[in-house]
Amino acid sequence: MGQLAIFIFVSLGDCIGLVLQDRFGVSEAVYHACALAGVLTGCLIDGWIYCTVVIGRLRPYFREYLAANQISH
């Protein structure tokens, strides 16, 4: 799911960059900046989804881990 978000936002950033470059004649640097913004947005969404899933799966084991390693909270 997260990789799909990266693909979607990279494609969206790429399309926006192409439209800006084609329609308004902006420089190629703007095209690359739009693609980079798409990549970063996709990576943020992927990281959020990944962390949400991992934390949700590990939550039942936190107390057990803390007790076994005698870590106080």
DSSP 39-67: HHHHHHHHHHHHHHHHHHHHGGGHHHHHH
pLDDT tens by residue, 4-17:
777 787 788 778 77
Q: Count of alpha carbons within 13 Å of 40, Cβ hemisphere only?
A: 6
- At 42 the pLDDT is 75
* 17 found inside a domain: yes
- At 56 the pLDDT is 87
pLDDT tens by residue, 22-72:
777 778 787 788 778 877 877 787 788 888 888 888 888 888 888 888 877
* 73 found inside a domain: no
- At 36 the pLDDT is 80
Q: Looking at the 3D structure of the chain, how many domains does it have?
A: 1
For residue 73, what is the DSSP state? -
Cβ neighbours for 32, distance < 8 A, ≥ 6 positions apart: 17
- Tell me which of 18 and 53 has the higher pLDDT: 53
- At 65 the pLDDT is 85
Domain range for 54 is 2-68
